[in-house]
Structure 1
């Protein structure tokens, strides 16, 4: 797996500093498991975050709090290489001993550990979904091969990690491991590639904006 579409630098920084919305963090973590490039960007962002924290530490009169903050950040930076190794191992696809039925570790608390145990809900012809109980805006989608989705833009941000299958849109070809990190300026119409259903996990921080009346009707039902 060699992802060609990566997290935006602002998303990486938000993940590193803990300011990314929880559902966005789940999708970002799933991508980081598969993408060595973004893991390297995360390490750089954590180093920058450590320097910024040093500059914003409280004055000497709060020595205890200063020491605690410094120790917390240093521990996080020390742990980064070990965490990177674990993510790299989890990201291996097709290696001996790897179970192709296993979901990314970041998704397990929300969707379970395996693809075969997923309980899909019908959304539209050729489209099924699962909504995370704790985060309703965190959704896993299964889209039939050769399916053209409605044209839409985004009320704010959308983060989508491709798990299986692929799709094409105006931004390019998105295959397993790729992430679509989109904002309100993007309007697109994904078309899944033939052969295998496209399975992806998406996080939204605002409803999608559909141009067609039928899609808008479905949006009212499924709260997308």
Structure 2
């Protein structure tokens, strides 16, 4: 898998700095698990961030305090997501590892909820912002919409096309409120993606706007 669409550099920088919410971090982590190029970019950002920290003045720590701090960072700090194409990850039924805490490990164990003709979703609970899995039947058009804030979507299975191009497994759409689009899923298999949003979508059609409070998108 070699993704062609990636998170914005600013999004990766925020991830490196620990400034993303858990919902957006989950999508970035899932992409990092399949994208060698972004993992390398993140390593460079982490190294630059580490150098900047060493140049800042601060209160000197005792040797004991420094050792405890390093131990805490090693224990709780975010680890680089494991590549999803590693031998232990070849099972096609497994979701990307970073999504397991929110949705479980297996595609076949997912409990989808109907929200419209050919459209189902699963919403993660207990996370800031909105994080959900979305499954859209092949050959379907989603309503034309813009975004009330930011949206980060990664394709897990299937594909879709919109004004921004063709999005296949591993690709990420990093969108803001300046983007208006209407994804159309490719024929063949359902399109499954994971999406994080920090504000409701803004639909153009009156029917989609009427149904929006019911589906909470």
Q: Same fold per TM (> 0.5)? A: yes
Following superposition, the deviation at residue 150 of structure 1 comes to 0.5
Write out per-residue CA displacement over residues 114-169 of structure 1, whole angstroms, 9 at most, x where no aligned residue.
10000000011010000012236101000000000111111111000100000000
Q: Which residue is equivalent to 1:91?
A: 85
* Corresponding residue to 1:147 among 116, 140, 153: 140
* Conserved? CA contact 1:57–1:66, under 8 Å: no
Q: 4+ residue runs of structure 1 moved beyond 4 angstroms? A: 62-66, 72-76
Structure 1, unaligned runs of 5 or more:
none
The Cα of 1:14 is off from its aligned counterpart by: 1.1
Alignment of 1:23-172 (within 5 A): 23-60=23-60, 67=66, 71=70, 87-88=82-83, 90-92=84-86, 98-135=90-127, 137-172=130-165
CA distance in 1, matches of 2:18, 2:107: 28
What is the Cα deviation at residue 59 of structure 1? 4.0
Match of 2:6 in 1: 6
**Unmatched runs of 5 consecutive residues or more in structure 2:** none
- Give the match's secondary structure for 1:116: helix
User: Equivalences for 1:196-215 in 2 at 5 Å?
Assistant: 196-215=189-208
TM-score, L = length of structure 1: 0.87
C-alpha distance in structure 2 between counterparts of 1:57 and 1:33, whole Å: 35
Per the TM alignment, residue 202 of structure 1 is displaced from its structure 2 partner at its CA by 0.2
Pair 157,66 (structure 1): closer, same or farther in 2 beyond 3 Å: farther
1:96 CA drift (Å)? 8.9
Count, aligned residues: 215
- Give me the TM-score of the superposition, normalised by structure 2: 0.90
CA shift for structure 1 position 64: 6.3
More helix by share: 1
